[in-house]
Chains A and B, each alone.
Chain A
Amino acid sequence: LAKTTQPISMDSYEGQEVNITCSHNNIATNDYITWYQQFPSQGPRFIIQGYKTKVTNEVASLFIPADRKSSTLSLPRVSLSDTAVYYCLVGGNTGRRALTFGSGTRLQVQP
């Protein structure tokens, strides 16, 4: 399983764009990159998933360079409600089906 490294914490202000980068140097060919968000007292929630280049949905964008050894989750114009822990996960669609969570990034959005 590819190990991921993320910043432990980040601070931002409302209305700013937040970029959280995750390193996964030993990502395998069939691995996808997935990001989850966890609010206090809740289970993690799927945000976005990608394999290469750029993926965008209504919540976030995911940028993946050509070598796929890192990825960046971009949250546009954050609000106080985006305060949460964000987890970067790397895994394939074969073999192990359970998720392996790293330490995550605790994002604190200030007014």
Chain B
Amino acid sequence: SAVISQKPSRDICQRGTSLTIQCQVDSQVTMMFWYRQQPGQSLTLIATANQGSEATYESGFVIDKFPISRPNLTFSTLTVSNMSPEDSSIYLCSVESGTWMTEAFFGQGTRLTVV
């Protein structure tokens, strides 16, 4: 299993500003994933972050809006840039286990409110 710590757990931000979310894993992992969960909705993948390479973004998400860093095998950050109220969501970091290919572990999430 993997233990994931996300910071901050929640924040209220002014529109036009940026917020960087940190994700720390207690073990080394190759891939880290960032998801967004809008209020009352399911999870949507934002991007996949591999250490040592640029993140791969899903359709509808761009690097300028959601820059991601992956400096080592246990840490990643997601920045939500130039925020608007539409960015109010829960942002979740995830890693997969080495046992089951589709078993994943998630952080508690960062609840972002943009005012």
Contact = CB atoms under 8 A, between A and B. Distances in A.
Given A49-B102, A101-B44, 4 more contacts: A92-B102, A99-B104, A101-B35, A103-B42
Contacts of A13: none
Contacts of A59: none
Contacts, number: 63
Interface of A: 32, 34, 41-46, 49, 87, 89, 91-94, 97-104
B109 A41 contact: yes
B96 A97 contact: yes
A39 to B, nearest CB: 10
A41 B107 CA distance: 10
A102 B102 CA distance: 15
A100 to B, nearest CB: 7
Interface residues on B, range: 20 to 34
A99 B101 CA distance: 10
Interface of B: 4, 31, 33, 35, 42-45, 48, 92, 94, 96, 100-109, 111
A99 B48 contact: no
Given A41-B108, A41-B109, A91 B43 contact: no
A45 B31 contact: no
A102 B43 CA distance: 8
A99 B94 contact: yes
Contact of B101 (A32, A44, A45, A102): A32
B43 A98 contact: no
A97 B45 contact: no
A17 to B, nearest CB: 25
A94 B102 CA distance: 10
Given A44-B43, A87-B42, A93 B101 contact: yes
A29 B4 CA distance: 32
Contacts of B45: 98-100
A97 B108 CA distance: 20
B43 to A, nearest CB: 4
